[in-house]
Structures are given as C-alpha cells and as structure tokens.
Structure 1
C-alpha cells in the first residue's frame, strides 16, 4: 500500500514537472517570437527613421545639381586668383555687318595676377549688352568650358550701336569660399523671440537649430513641410506665448582673412580687357518683328528671356501688353482678388497701386515706405470690386525690429488657405531674406510652394499663379551675407523647381541684370515692366 501511494505521488510529480516544462517551452517560444517581432519592428522603425523622406530626397537632388556647378578650389595668395585685367575677351568670327536677330559669341580666356592661364572654371560673370541712347539692354548667357575658357552668347535684338559689359563679378576662388561659408553654419544672422504671458515679458534666442537639450527648447514644427523653428525656453512662460520676433546681426564671418581680400570693392565686378568696344547692328532685311502669341501661364521662359528697348521689356517668347495706367490695371483686376505673398519687392505692387497711380486705397494702413514692409496690407477699389492683399512669406525675415510673429505663415500654408478660382490671382516671390542661410532651406521652401500650387490646381485649375524671381541688388552690399552669387544660386533653384508648372514665370533676375539695376527694390521703370508681364499672364 505504501508502495502504491508513493508510486502515485511520484507519477503526479513527474506529470507536473513535465507540464511545467512543456508549458514553459510554449511560453518561451511565444516570448521568443514576440521578441523577434519586436526586434524586427524596431529595425523597421530605425530604417524608416534613417531613410530620407521624399522631400529630403528632392532637396538633396537639387542641391547636388547646384553643388556640381560650384568650384572647390583653394589658394595661398591673391596673385593666384582670377585677374580681370590680365584676362582677355575675344569676339569670335567677327563680321563686317551684323543684323537684328544674329547670334554673337565672345570667348573669355582667364588668367591670374601673375599672368598664368587658369585651368579650371567657376568664375562668376554677369554679362550684358546695351545701347544707352536707345535705353536698350539684354543679358548674355555664359557657357563654362571648365578649363579657364568661357563662351558668352548674345542675341542682337535691336538696331544700332551695341556695347558690351563683360565683368568678372567674383573669381572662382571667391565663389568657392562663399559657397563654403554659406554652408558653414545655420545662418549668419540669428533671431530673438519675445514671449508675453499676462504681465510677464521676456526675450530669448531663437533659430532653425539651437545647441540646447530638447527639454530646454520650445519647438514650432510643421511636420508635413518639415519646417522647424526653435526658441530657448523661458522659465514660467509657456511656449505658446511667443508673440514677436526680430533678427539680430552679430556680424559673424566664415571667410579667412585671405579670402576677404577677394571681396573688397575694387575686386568686385571688374571689366575684362577686350580688343573691341561695340558692334553696329542693322535691320538687314527691313523685316518687322514676328507676331508672337500673348504671354500665358505654362510657357517656358528661356535665358535671356527678353530685352529692354526704350525702357520697355520685350519677352522673346511671347507678347506682353502694358498694364501701367489706372485704367489698364482696373481692366485686369476688376472683380478680382490679388494675393501678393513674398517680400518688399512684391510689396512694391501694392505701393504702386496706392501711391503712384492711386487707383486703390489702403484699409487702415498708417505706415509708409519700406520701414514696415513686414506688415500685412490690404488695398481696395470698391468701385471696381478689386481686392489686393499683401502678406510676407514667413520666417526667416531680415527685420531688426520686432514684428508680430503670431500671424506668420509659410507661403505653402497661405496657398492652402485659398479656395482659388477664375477671379483669383496669386503672385509669389522669395529670395533676398534667404541669402543669409544654407541653400537647403531655400530649396525645401521652394519645393513646398510647388506642392501647394499643385494642390491648388487640383481644386481650382483656373486660378492664375505668378512666380517672380528675385532681382539683383547693389554692388556694395555685404557679400558674405547678401551677395549676388547667393541670389544667383537661388534663382537657378527657382527655375528648376517651377519648371513645367502652369504658372506665369517672371525672370526678374534677367531683367535687372540686363538693365544693370543695382537696387534691391527695382526702379519704377523696371517695376512697371514686372507688373505688366504679371498681368499679361493673369488677364
């Protein structure tokens, strides 16, 4: 009996141990399977986080295209850099008689200050032809052979004596230095944000990226467009109380003392020696200009895109009509809404309407001039049912006065807010305020604007959209912060990003270069042509 009892107890123990063991194996198998699944999920998440987004890929592709155009060179003495005076300009295949419409090529052979032939390209030129007595001018197109030789192609658009301007704006060594300096930081100006909460007020540092732990930062993120602004947290003030923003210029530099020698005024925009001064152009066939179709959205804009004659712009690819007088502009804008999204160069439109031709009146606008360009403006013509609205393009802004940040909105978000329609015109620009930051920022902003326009066209394909490039500015501007080469690379980005889109493209870089406009705000005669082309597209 004792044997049977202990035998049964032993069997139960064995069964229990076996059950526990097999149950453990099952649970272990489940846990192992779960662990493997978790590991796989973590790996997928890590891969997803490490893989660039479609937007980031687009930005990188465009940036790399520009980067390949920029020389990567160093120098130990300014004598080893490009000398305009030692370089030579030669008129290829000169003719006794030139006719309107002929193409003409000038060869540039570059030398350094010691008289040595340059063996690489990358110099920055702004060539043009002009006839002062005719108030005529046009840009030239530069072909870089990447061996120290360049071909500059001109089209002879008008009859008369045509002169040449062939300036080395910056040598290739300077371009390489500017490109490196532009991307050595997150920008050469910083920002201050003013927080207001009840009776409390404080100012703190803001920017695109700040070297602070995450828990010390207020983050203002746009996840869709991958935009971000950061400010250092202020104790006892919520992040939502950020109210005002301003720029702060600490005058940092990322150029060496040697590189700075390239950007003294005497080394900027120096004419190349040439054995010719002008050519005489005749109307050989006495033929009249071929009739072109009216400028319309979606047309491709070549370079050069046109020429000035008697201070009037003549596009080479379409026919532009004047929209200068009050009656002309009223005929276009009657019953329409015009939204201007950009900077002070686009604000010139609304200033022209209200201050030059006086066909509209501001709604509660006590400010004048460009001092308060960041203010949102509204102008109306009640009789013609015309509505014109100006709003800045959003952060970053080079405004050293505090401006109301809470109404800030990126251009893409502003476009998203508009229903559009056949009576809606949206004009967009950006450029000057982005020159002080790495080019990636500008590219991302441009791509996001294109995407917003594409969304707009899906819901309202008959909306008219006008893209205005940035323009040239004065030679004496701070080269590292605001120089022309920075503007030129942004101009190339804008042409690349908006190609193939059903928009009206105004090549103001070409216009201002051709007419040698040295003003961040183009003069009135240039502005009139910009407005005329915009409304030829839109009306």
Structure 2
C-alpha cells in the first residue's frame, strides 16, 4: 500500500509508514506539517498474491529481464550470475571470498577460459519481468487508487508551527539517522515548498559547496542513478573532466578536478550484473574501487547498489554486500578519516525504462539500510522517503539530484 498526504497548491508531501494488522486491515499515523487544504491519496501497489509471485520468480536466480553476452573475438556467449542454459564447459569468473559470483559459457573457438571477458553487450529478453500478468493489471490490482482515495481535509496551524529538529546536521547525526528503525512510524523528513526538511537534524544551514569540498576527494560509486551525481557536481563545481569517454557506454570511469579549489570527484560503476555494454574498465567491482582509494587527503565515499540486482533472489545481493562491507571495513582500518555514505533506493512509478516493481526496490532499500547499520562510520542517505512523495522517475530530475547532494553535504560539511 502507499499512503500519500499532500498539500494541494505546492504539491509538498510526507512519506508515511503503514502498519499491517494481518487481518485485512492497515493503519497509518503521521504528522501533517503544512497548514491548509490537503489531499489524501491511498494506493494499492500490489496484492499479497502478486508479492508472493514476485518472490517465487526471483528465487530461481535466473535473470528474467536482461541477458548478458560476453564478446570473445568473433564469438559471443551467455554470461550471468546463474546461467539458464550452461554449456558443458563454463568459465568461472567468481570471487566468492569477495562476494562476487559470475559465469560465462566457454566460447567454442578457444581451448581455455580467458583471464577476463573482453567486452559485454546487453540483450533484452522476451520473458515478462512482472510474473503472472493477471496479478499485475494497472488500474485493477497494481498501482491503483482505492475507493475514496483523494479525500480532502484541512490542516490547521501556521508556518511557525512547522516541525523542525533542534539537532545540528553533522556526521554524528547522520549516524543517528542511519540507525532510524524501519519499524518506526515516524518519518525522517518532509517536503515543504520544494525543499526537503529533515526531522532528525536541522539541514537548512549548508555551507557553500566549493568551500566545503575544498582540498577534498569524493567518490560516487554505483549505477546510473549515482552517476547523475557526478555530472551534477561537474556542472556545479566546474570540474575539468579527465575520464575515459565512450558515448555508447554510460558506465565508463569519470574523473573531474577543480584545480583552483583542489576538488576531485570520481565516478566508478559497481560491476556485474550491470546493464551496460562495454569493456572491463567500465564495470569495476566496488570492492576493487575501495581497495584503490588513497585516504591521505580528506575523502568521502558515496555508493549505491541494488537496482541491477532486482531480477535475482536477495541472497545474491546480500552476498555482494558482504564483500563490500568487508572492503569498507578494511579501508576504514587503513584510513579512519574516510567517510562512507550509502545512497538508498529511489521510489518511482514503473515505466518502460524501469518496469520492475517498486516493491522490489523497497525490499532492496531495507536490506541495504540494515546491512551497514552497526558500522558507525557508514551513514544512510534516505532517498527512498525523499522520492516517495512527490514521486519521480528512476533517473530523478536535476532538481532532485541537487536535493540528494544537499542532504549529503548537510552531514558531510
């Protein structure tokens, strides 16, 4: 279910946690932070039968969405975490101790498996990604408003009554925010006049970006949603880009530098499974990137991972996170001053670009949030709540990207 109370004129809103009473009824409780006319939207995202279908399909460990083809000279073969039709000889590129599982069928024109796959291309499969179609009918039992949704109500008060936190945003309050229990029905923030207002700390006072990041390095690591951070920072900080360029491969490494303020921003992808065609340098594993970081200068690492793992059982995702967690612990031991931030998932209405269920994104977000919960130096950026109301696309607009970056800066600076 999704509950969305919003202010009529400004389309501001607040994320709501819903409690399942396990008897066919649900409840929710939230503050309404803006005075005036409001509207209550209540939506059925999935039936329980649909959720069971999503879980059972992903338990097969077979990617139903995209196919990976490894290109070896003039031959291309299937590659994946678990091959749907493995040949008699399989090339094993797994690194189990580092949380990495990956196989390719052996090309017929070679005698032994190459050390690495020269390049990849992505093939879209014909199989459905939303299970049993009768359970996924838009406007019937999938992403449809329930009866009486849209009811109007009036919230009393003035702008002076807006709830705010008295705690200053810093690395300590970021840790507190990360430990915010998912079972809690208290939201972590809300939108007012297009601005995110944190309820865990006062995020209104943010120093100038260039002053904050002067003489610092920031690594943004992950899929295309974190790559957007790099391009936004490149524009705002007027970075000179020195990365490799390939207009057919979005995941190539990017490196930007502002010589005047000695600011360095780096983008790296997160490795297979990654829905991007390209050479090996376009898909480094996060554990490899973390091992290369030199933390002798002030450094922040912001990473995200999850959306490219949605077609698989969560055990695959947990295995990968285990390797990343171990690499983060080792980096912290080498350079205790390095600061880590985990960007949460982005909630969006399913589209042709990202047709997978946002329930799967929610599951991924909760796993990601809880996995680093006991590491005090790893903070969670709750982009799920920020994109729950109002909703956005899987690739959020520049306005949203700037809000995400401001949230990060409010803690880091």
Normalising by structure 1, what TM-score?
0.69
Unmatched 5+ residue regions in structure 2?
181-185
Task: Indicate if the aligned counterparts of 1:195 and 1:241 stay in contact, CA closer than 8 A.
Answer: no
Q: As a proportion of its length, which structure holds more helix?
A: 1
**Aligned partners of 2:136, 2:253: CA distance in 1, in Å?**
36
1:360 aligns with 2:233: no
Task: Indicate if the aligned counterparts of 2:223 and 2:304 stay in contact, CA closer than 8 A.
Answer: yes
Q: Secondary structure at the match of 1:495?
A: helix
Match of 2:48 in 1: 172
Q: Which has the higher contact order (CA 8 A, sep 6+)?
A: 2
Match of 1:158 in 2: 34
Which of 340, 360, 367 does residue 493 from structure 1 map onto? Answer: 367
**Aligned partners of 1:364, 1:151: CA distance in 2, in Å?**
50
Shift of residue 387, structure 1, vs aligned partner:
0.9
Q: Secondary structure at the match of 1:227?
A: coil
Show CA shifts across 1:261-285 (max 9, x none): 2313223221222384223231498
Q: Secondary structure at the match of 1:353?
A: helix
Q: Tell me which structure has the larger Cα radius of gyration.
A: 1
Q: 1:365 to 1:132 in 2, by over 3 A?
A: farther
**Aligned partners of 2:340, 2:84: CA distance in 1, in Å?**
39
Match of 2:330 in 1: 455
1:233 aligns with 2:109: no
User: Which stretch shifts more, 271-280 or 508-517?
Assistant: 271-280
**Aligned partners of 2:237, 2:297: CA distance in 1, in Å?**
25
Q: Secondary structure at the match of 2:403?
A: helix
Which of 198, 215, 225 does residue 315 from structure 1 map onto? Answer: 198
Match of 2:411 in 1: 537
Which of 90, 108, 123 does residue 217 from structure 1 map onto? Answer: 90
1:484 aligns with 2:367: no
Q: 1:182 to 1:346 in 2, by over 3 A?
A: same
Match of 1:195 in 2: 72
Task: Indicate if the aligned counterparts of 2:62 and 2:83 stay in contact, CA closer than 8 A.
Answer: no
Match of 1:305 in 2: 188
Which of 298, 301, 310 does residue 435 from structure 1 map onto? Answer: 310
5 Å-filtered alignment, 1:246-395, equals: 246-253=121-128, 259-267=132-140, 268-274=142-148, 276-283=151-158, 289=164, 291-296=166-171, 297-301=174-178, 302=180, 304-321=187-204, 328-355=208-235, 357=236, 359-363=238-242, 366=245, 372-395=249-272
1:139 aligns with 2:15: yes
Show CA shifts across 1:199-256 (max 9, x none): xx32111111236778611111213124221111123264225210122222224877
Task: Indicate if the aligned counterparts of 2:78 and 2:104 stay in contact, CA closer than 8 A.
Answer: yes
Which of 386, 406, 411 does residue 511 from structure 1 map onto? Answer: 386
Q: 1:288 to 1:413 in 2, by over 3 A?
A: closer
Q: Secondary structure at the match of 2:53?
A: helix
Q: 1:210 to 1:308 in 2, by over 3 A?
A: same
**Aligned partners of 1:482, 1:308: CA distance in 2, in Å?**
26
What root-mean-square deviation, in Å, do the aligned CA atoms of Structure 1 and Structure 2 show?
2.6
Which of 271, 281, 289 does residue 414 from structure 1 map onto? Answer: 289
**Aligned partners of 1:246, 1:349: CA distance in 2, in Å?**
25
**Aligned partners of 2:402, 2:11: CA distance in 1, in Å?**
15
Shift of residue 321, structure 1, vs aligned partner:
4.4
Q: 1:150 to 1:434 in 2, by over 3 A?
A: same
Q: Secondary structure at the match of 1:278?
A: strand
Shift of residue 421, structure 1, vs aligned partner:
4.7
Q: Secondary structure at the match of 2:345?
A: coil
Show CA shifts across 1:313-346 (max 9, x none): 11110122466xxx92211211111111101111
Report how many aligned residue pairs link the two structures: 399
Normalising by structure 2, what TM-score?
0.88
5 Å-filtered alignment, 1:18-37, equals: none
Match of 2:183 in 1: none
Task: Indicate if the aligned counterparts of 2:87 and 2:105 stay in contact, CA closer than 8 A.
Answer: no
Task: Indicate if the aligned counterparts of 1:381 and 1:387 stay in contact, CA closer than 8 A.
Answer: yes
